[in-house]
Homo-oligomer: A and B are copies of this chain.
Amino acid sequence: MADQSSLGDMLTQLDKGLDDALSRLTEFLRIPSISTDPAHAADVRAAAEWLRAELASLGFDAAVHDTPGHPMVVARSAPGGARPLLFYGHYDVQPVDPLELWDRPPFDPAIEETPQGRVIRGRGASDDKGQLMTFVEAFRAWKAVHGTLPTDLILLFEGEEESGSPSLRPFLQQHADELKASLAVICDTARYADGRPAITTQLRGLVGQEVVIEAADRDLHSGSFGGLAANPIMILSKALAALKDDHGRVTLPGFYDGVADLPPELARDWDALGFDAAEFLGRVGLSSPIGETGRTPLEMVWNRPTAEINGIAGGYAGAGFKTVLPAQARAKVSFRLTGQQDPQRIRDAFQNHIRSFVPADCRVSFHDHGASPASVMDISDPAFGLAKDALTEEWGQEAAFIGAGGSIPIAGDFREILGMDSLLIGFARDDDRIHSPNEKYDVESFAKGARSWARILTALR
């Protein structure tokens, strides 16, 4: 294990080198690596090459791997018998539309002074080039102080995260032997809302289902047929309404199989966050949690599964009124999963539920949209406690184990294909405007992010 004096040297090194580090980030941000836009394919590759060169200059064995889509950058440090760690980030960025809402050109980044402190503004500053470079700067400081890189590191930097990662799973499968480590380290998340450092240790899974109910073979006149003929919107409404009881619980048989209450250690961490549901909902014009009776608001979004209707359509919903008794109605429904819930069993239970509402002379069809279980990390792995302590040390406030209501597919992919958990640590802020005009990353996030990795690397090496 690296000693504390070399950690002090690394932190000093990082502080002294901050301006240079920001210059490198600025150079990286100038490359418009928008992965969804085919016109920017060469820029995406240029960003990959820039990264490869940067990593090679530090002594990594770095290569750009072609895929059917955009390239993967893979780099390795020398083996040394330590626990192998896989660091993941992505070097592609979101599109910039609407361009007119930007206060400066999105690919001409600059450091700005703001009332909340210094920020670097530009597309990708926070998501994810700035975060990715916190890794790189920490490795650079390690090299400067130790003369060599930390051993047994694998770096995987993706260029398709913002366009759905179509090449990622095949790449992981094809390169499983080279990429397999004992833990993934992902820097693509935010600090907790109040700015405190956090490690996301559980993510909800997702099952998406589209349902279409068809009744008559054409739209009918609701005068001639109303009260006699099946109305698919009413059938659908009754089926969807019955998905949740009056206590906000999902009614599907077996739905809660595999759902566990929060371990006491996490319950304590979550309570300590002082989550203010009224304030959180107030930001979007609401005030009251509507979830399961007897659950705290944070449990509702992080540790309890739910069913949500994401879209519904049927009949005539435009201007004016049409007295139509429609031929069909459709809805998109998603389930957020926790614990050990089995996506396929939930899909089956949902389909059976809907079918039980559909009369014999009507038809129902389903379209599947994704199924992934929840990701629940094993926090008894010492790396989690060590990383938490390191973050607490760096930020001067207690780091928290937190959950996330949404999915981060890469964490599920690492678990499924490479058999390892992920240490999800990121330094972004809620107000970073990722995916929006005027994206920024706090200079503090960048500087203390790199210092955090220096501490974590020291603890884990």
Contacts and interface: CB of A to CB of B under 8 A. Distances in A.
As for how many copies of this chain the complex holds, the number is: 2
A438 B317 CA distance: 30
A218 interface: yes
Interface string A221-235: 111111111110110
A227 B336 contact: yes
A359 B228 contact: no
A361 B323 contact: no
Given A230-B286, A321-B210, A359-B288, A225 B309 contact: no
A386 interface: no
Contacts of A167: none
Contacts of A406: 221-224, 323
B314 A312 contact: yes
Contact of A284 (B218, B223, B324, B359): B218
A262 interface: no
Interface string A275-313: 001000100111111111000010011001110111111
B310 A324 contact: yes
A325 interface: yes
A230 B290 contact: yes
Contact of A311 (B238, B288, B314, B330): B314
A361 B217 CA distance: 40
A226 B361 contact: no
A180 interface: no
Contacts of A309: 231, 233-234, 237, 314-315
Contacts of A312: 233, 237, 312-315, 317, 329
Contacts of A330: 317
A405 interface: yes
Nearest to A363: B285
Contacts of A291: 227-228
A334 B311 CA distance: 22
A206 interface: yes
Interface string A369-409: 11000000000000000000000000000000000111100
Interface of A: 204, 206, 208, 210, 215-218, 220-231, 233-234, 236-238, 240-244, 248, 277, 281, 284-292, 297, 300-301, 304-306, 308-318, 320-326, 329-332, 334, 336, 359-362, 369-370, 404-407
21 contacts: A215-B285, A216-B281, A216-B284, A222-B308, A222-B334, A223-B407, A227-B300, A229-B284, A230-B286, A231-B308, A233-B240, A234-B240, A234-B244, A240-B241, A285-B361, A288-B359, A311-B318, A311-B322, A321-B332, A321-B334, A323-B334
